[in-house]
Amino acid sequence: MVGPMPFDHNDHYHGLLLRKVPRNCGAALDVGCGTGRFARRLARLGVEVDAVDPSEEVIAEARALAGRGSENEGPRFAHADITEAELPAGHYDFISCLASIHHVEFGTVAALRDALAPGGVLVILGCYPERSPLDWAWSLAAVPVNAAVRPAFAARDKFRRPAAASADRPRVPAPVKQPSMPLSRIRVEAEALLPGCSIRRLLFWRYLLVFRNSG
């Protein structure tokens, strides 16, 4: 029997990312969508969502999990490598990358930038390796908080999860890759490719990058 899902650092920030969705957002792209949890939350806002991932296995799982609703209401999941995809220029009002940009060259953000509609927003919930004393200080601060919240979230999910969702079903893990670009370098490259973007550290070994297309 599969037990409650463990506390997920990316899921923890869904609310923060959803608050960055522009008003009257019509079309969104979720890059490296995994099994589609964030893409489904976007779709529930009434947004048309394209969601892509290079893993055929996790896309199959995402489609299965979204199968309970109408196809027109859920995200359009596609097995695709974002570095090879031909994105429509100036099309998306919102583009999200949750712990996925470090799986590709950071320069890929240029293609995402060009796919933003005027006023569109790109948000990256990114990972970075610990290289500096400040990195390690944030990491040490996160460890006790992480240990404290994991059992609390597990208990919450145990009572909130519908009986059908807790049925015996193997999980399909998304591919994992360790980040290699330090946050200092991310800041430099982001400023060159996404001028005017903001980057701030978050707890749980993440950073948040926000870029708005003012064109």
Closest by CA to 55, choosing from 30, 38, 32, is 32
Where are the domains positioned within the chain?
Answer: 9-129+176-212
CATH number of this structure's domain 9-129+176-212, picked from the four choices 3.90.1150.10, 3.40.50.150, 3.40.718.10, 2.40.50.140:
3.40.50.150
According to the model, what pLDDT value does residue 47 have?
96
| Tokens linked to 213 | 């297309």
Which residue is listed with tokens 């293609």?
Answer: 111
User: What backbone torsions phi and psi does residue 154 show, to the nearest 5 degrees?
Assistant: -65, -40
Cβ atoms of residues 160 and 215 within 8 Å: no
According to the model, what pLDDT value does residue 164 have?
41
Cβ atoms of residues 47 and 26 within 8 Å: yes
Angle in degrees, CA 191, 106, 189, rounded to 5: 20
| Tokens linked to 147 | 């240990």
According to the model, what pLDDT value does residue 144 have?
73
Residues of the chain with pLDDT under 50: 1-6, 70-71, 162-169
Length of the chain measured in residues: 215
pTM for this predicted structure:
0.85
pLDDT digits (tens, 9 = 90+) for 20-54: 999 999 999 999 999 999 999 999 999 999 999 99
